Structure 1
Amino acid sequence: MQRLCPRWTVLVLVLSVEAVEAVTQTFHRPPVSSPLSRSEVLALRTAFSAKFGASSGSREPTDLSSGRRLLHGLPMRLTEQIRRDWQLVESDKVQQVKVSPGGPGEAVITWLTQDRRLPSLVEYQSARSVFSRTAQGEVNVYTTQICLPNSQVMADPLLGPPNIPLNYDELTKLLNTSSFLPPESDSWRFLGPNADPWEFLAKTNFCIDYKNPNAYYTSPYIHTVTLRGLGGSTDYSFRPAGSSRSFHFKTPPNAGANAAPMRLGVWADIGITNVSFGVMSKMLDLEPDLLVTVGDLSYADGWAERWDIFGMMMEPLMSSRYHLAVVGNHEIIQNNGVDFIHRYPMPFRQSGAPGPYMFAYESGLLYLIGLPGSYAPTAKGSLQWSFAEEKLMEVDRERTPWVVVVFHTPWYNSNNAHFGEGMKHQWDMEELFYQHGVDLVFNGHVHSYERSFPVYNHSRNECGTTHIVVGDGGNYEGPAIYEGHPPGWRTPQPSWSAFREASYGPGLLTVFNSTHAEWRWHRVACVFENKAHRAVNWTKFTYEGARQSLGRTRPMSAFYWDGVSGPAGGPECATEGDNAEQAYEASDVVMLVRDPQRCPNKSFRQPGTMATAASTGAPVWFTEAPVWSTAAAASVVAAVGMALVLAYCHARGVIHRDRTSSPTMCSMPLRLTWEGD
């Protein structure tokens, strides 16, 4: 019989052990994933909300009017706060509510409405107080030209049903001004019933002709209000003016606070599919204190109304905790990120950043830096390089010992999809990261999950940085097994790569103290190739307009969910074509250990001091580093504690090591089970 060591066991071992979940189990997933419409999102959320009161044992799928099913087996272990307060009211004039951090003690509340008369006003109250306060903000809208540069995937989503997300009739209607303009107008355009609208768009660089009055999208009214005077780790309720709902969130811990473990939720490349909804639901279940999206949020791809669908779908998550995000290619190449900037304001001014795509934020023992990465100049002396250097030099590692950097395009990626795209950024900034002992880098972009060992200059280095790719949030482009030449994972698996798998799920970083943090990635879904997709005789759209549209039929999707796979007794869940060594593992769990004594580049130093050169890859020494520090002492105590607990567990039973993929305690995915009474 498997069981854990007693509760009084030294913390470090208990948190390093993964006994119960070390073996793949079978679980159920929804049958299909595709971009959802506004009505489908509302129906999905309404059905999900109606199940809050159900017991965890009652999880039959709920049939929706659209013919879709609610995710079978969605995690329902949500906080009582959300169970009580998340009640979707479709008639509510306030939608897409979200919370993001501002300056110290601030929360920025954002929501959208179609009603011009509603004021930008929020009433809010601490759970510790009987008095409420009000905050006034501002409202704005933005207008963009409709451009659809990702037309190939929009016309043929690799992860979706036969109906395409942006259908021909809707696009033709948008382009066809002859329905309301006379022929003598210079804005007059006519598309016949057999015309291919994508071929027409190709002639205008995939932007609707500026002469077309339908070429522009204007957002709903966007209200932004800043709440001030907030305490750390405190529950607050708030109600935007005109809303029939109240919302609740808990502030993350103040910088330097370590009263309890801090949980950082990380994901990327999300989209608006059923898979996206499932991953979001799992992220809610993990209950992070702070949420970070590492680029590619909505996959609107120039069709800005999808930002509204994304905002509604993600409201349960993003209205209940602070959310930070960096841009990905699907934001920056669609109207230069205008949608992102207005809808998801980041604390760039509060952190002294030169623009809205960069920020720095402190919470608990974390110092988090967000960068545009490959989507802005990266050379030494550039705005991005200088901002990163400035913030890294500001870090006080006694206050915030864990340094995390997030940007979209990865440096360390062993998938042929997007392989080497971040190389210029890496050449320019990796040494800077190493000098300042960056502990973790999170990326997206590649639609898979991959974790590295601590690495520097493509070699394992215990004083290097752990790089984690989480581009598996659920978007409709499918898993990263279909791109590249040849497609799929590169073989053999590089020595720096610790774990990789092309499926979908969120991740959670739990910081326990200045030396130990646990990273978990949770698989939510796999997809499989649609064999019938190969049999359809059609050609994908190209920029030369070579697409043959098969009349008015919709192309079939290349990948789908089978609806069932993966806890006890079912088929193993691994995305077809995934040749990763860990493809059948249920999840990835690793204890990350900071050892400032062995790695002085991660040790305490006064803010503003600079590291010595690290071009050789040798550990970096700081003249300011004390020989014996609190962090070093904690490491020694942790090591002694682990030895004592291992001895105890040996005495009580037999320890089996399932897998060890690192020879050091730095980033060792240690999974232990033991037997005995």
Structure 2
Amino acid sequence: MERMFGVKNTSLEHLLIPVKILVKNSLQRVVIFGDMGKAEVDGSNEYNDFQHASLNTTKQLIRDLNNIDLIFLIGDICYANGYLSQWDQFTAQVEPIASAVPFMVASGNHERDWPGSGSFYEDKDSGGECGVVAETMFYVPTENRAKFWYSTDYGMFRFCVADTEHDWREGTEQYEFIEHCLASVDRQKQPWLIFLAHRVLGYSSATFYADTGSFGEPMGRESLQKLWQKYKVDIAIYGHAHHYERTCPVYQNICTNKEKQHYTGPMNGTIHVVAGGGGAALAEFAALNVTWSFFKDYDFGFVKLTPIIRIQEEQ
């Protein structure tokens, strides 16, 4: 089997990582992105109008529906910020997509954050929604939708979806969930272990992260990177920064593999991808270069994961 990701709607990057396993004769094509939003086709002005590129993402996904099996929109879904009519507009925009393929979501700051509401951050980004609309409108496979973290298996993938708007640090309920999700996967059935979250809990050279000196959420990486390393997480994908970026396989700021695109054998680290170009206005990269950042694209788009199957006979 080969794994390939990095197909975006305005440019193309392929990453090939061959692995030999016993597989079934099937194909899974999974699209992942964050920070989409909505816009009027006629170009009319409206509240919070900075997501016009979401129309291009919508058109691209509709055109490619026959080649998509599952979609994850990992936070900052529509930027309604407390205006229910904006949710109506968004659901109308994505209905041709969400009615055709499974459409999974994660929680972002524009769905959840509000002072005194129990969110990890005390920002006002949700406009007072406090997660209620997103938790009610979208199904997620969890017993308590207010705890917007969950796992799901699809074909050869195990997806562990975190909620960055609730505390994920060591000792919390969510940390225990993340470790259980990573530890419980059967790598013979789901060889691909993927971590998804809205805010960048791994690595990003977006300007607003670089300015903090952390190159990611300041409290994010320390608690989680030992789990990613211990359980051999293949890829971690985030939104929040509105562009595309890919790292080398990395652990503790050090690239663990010298290859840049075609990997063979153990990677010994996790590849971190920022896929926040779903439609909201783009975010700048920091001017300085960091050794773990291998590919940057100041553009809109999405990531597509596609295992390329090689059938092997059981012995």
Normalising to structure 1: TM-score of the pair? Answer: 0.36
Residue in 1 aligned with 2:141? 347
Count of aligned residue pairs for this structure pair: 259
Shift of 1:284: 2.8
1:224-239 correspondence to structure 2 within 5 Å: none
Residue in 2 aligned with 1:507? 303
Deviations 1:141-165 (A, max 9, x none): xxxxxxxxxxxxxxxxxxxxxxxxx
Deviations 1:605-642 (A, max 9, x none): xxxxxxxxxxxxxxxxxxxxxxxxx9xxxxxxxxxxxx
Distance 2:309 2:251 in 1: 24
Alpha-carbon distance change, 293 to 514 in structure 1, aligned in 2, over 3 angstroms: farther
Shift of 1:429: 1.1
Residue in 1 aligned with 2:31? 265
On the 8 A contact 2:135/2:146 being kept in 1, the answer is no
Deviations 1:464-516 (A, max 9, x none): 111111111112xx2112xxxxxxx223321111111211112211012499x
On the 8 A contact 1:272/1:309 being kept in 2, the answer is yes
Q: Does 1:295 align with 2:100?
A: no
Alpha-carbon distance change, 257 to 311 in structure 1, aligned in 2, over 3 angstroms: farther
Residue in 2 aligned with 1:492? 288
Distance 2:310 2:193 in 1: 11
Deviations 1:348-406 (A, max 9, x none): 13xxx785401110111000111112x21122120110001111111110010100010
Alpha-carbon distance change, 299 to 418 in structure 1, aligned in 2, over 3 angstroms: farther
Structure 2: segments with no counterpart, 5+ residues: 14-21, 40-51, 114-125, 257-266
The residue type paired with residue 30 of structure 2 is: L
The residue type paired with residue 469 of structure 1 is: V
1:56-455 correspondence to structure 2 within 5 Å: 258-273=24-39, 274-286=52-64, 287-333=67-113, 334=126, 335-349=129-143, 355-373=146-164, 375-410=165-200, 411-419=202-210, 420=214, 421-455=216-250
From 269, 273, 298, the equivalent of 1:464 is 269
Which secondary structure does the structure 2 equivalent of 1:292 belong to?
Answer: strand
Alpha-carbon distance change, 23 to 342 in structure 1, aligned in 2, over 3 angstroms: closer
Residue in 2 aligned with 1:136? none
On the 8 A contact 1:454/1:465 being kept in 2, the answer is yes
Alpha-carbon distance change, 12 to 294 in structure 1, aligned in 2, over 3 angstroms: closer
Distance 2:23 2:151 in 1: 17
Distance 2:69 2:179 in 1: 27
Alpha-carbon distance change, 427 to 275 in structure 1, aligned in 2, over 3 angstroms: same
Shift of 1:298: 0.5
The residue type paired with residue 279 of structure 2 is: G
On the 8 A contact 2:244/2:299 being kept in 1, the answer is yes
On the 8 A contact 2:236/2:270 being kept in 1, the answer is yes
Residue in 2 aligned with 1:564? none
The structure with more radius of gyration: 1
The residue type paired with residue 180 of structure 2 is: E
On the 8 A contact 2:168/2:174 being kept in 1, the answer is yes
On the 8 A contact 1:283/1:506 being kept in 2, the answer is no
Between the aligned residues of both structures, percent identity stands at: 25
On the 8 A contact 2:70/2:102 being kept in 1, the answer is yes
Alpha-carbon distance change, 418 to 303 in structure 1, aligned in 2, over 3 angstroms: farther
Distance 1:284 1:261 in 2: 19
Q: In angstroms, what is the RMSD of aligned CA positions?
A: 2.8
The residue type paired with residue 269 of structure 1 is: D
On the 8 A contact 1:263/1:289 being kept in 2, the answer is yes
* Greater RCO (Cα-Cα under 8 Å, separation 6 or more): 2
Structure 1: segments with no counterpart, 5+ residues: 1-10, 25-255, 482-488, 516-629, 631-677
Which secondary structure does the structure 2 equivalent of 1:390 belong to?
Answer: helix
Shift of 1:328: 0.7
Distance 1:514 1:417 in 2: 42
List structure 1 runs of 4+ shifted beyond 6 angstroms. 21-24
On the 8 A contact 2:74/2:107 being kept in 1, the answer is yes
The residue type paired with residue 450 of structure 1 is: E
Alpha-carbon distance change, 455 to 304 in structure 1, aligned in 2, over 3 angstroms: same
Distance 1:377 1:356 in 2: 10
The residue type paired with residue 424 of structure 1 is: M
Which secondary structure does the structure 1 equivalent of 2:219 belong to?
Answer: helix
On the 8 A contact 1:341/1:356 being kept in 2, the answer is no
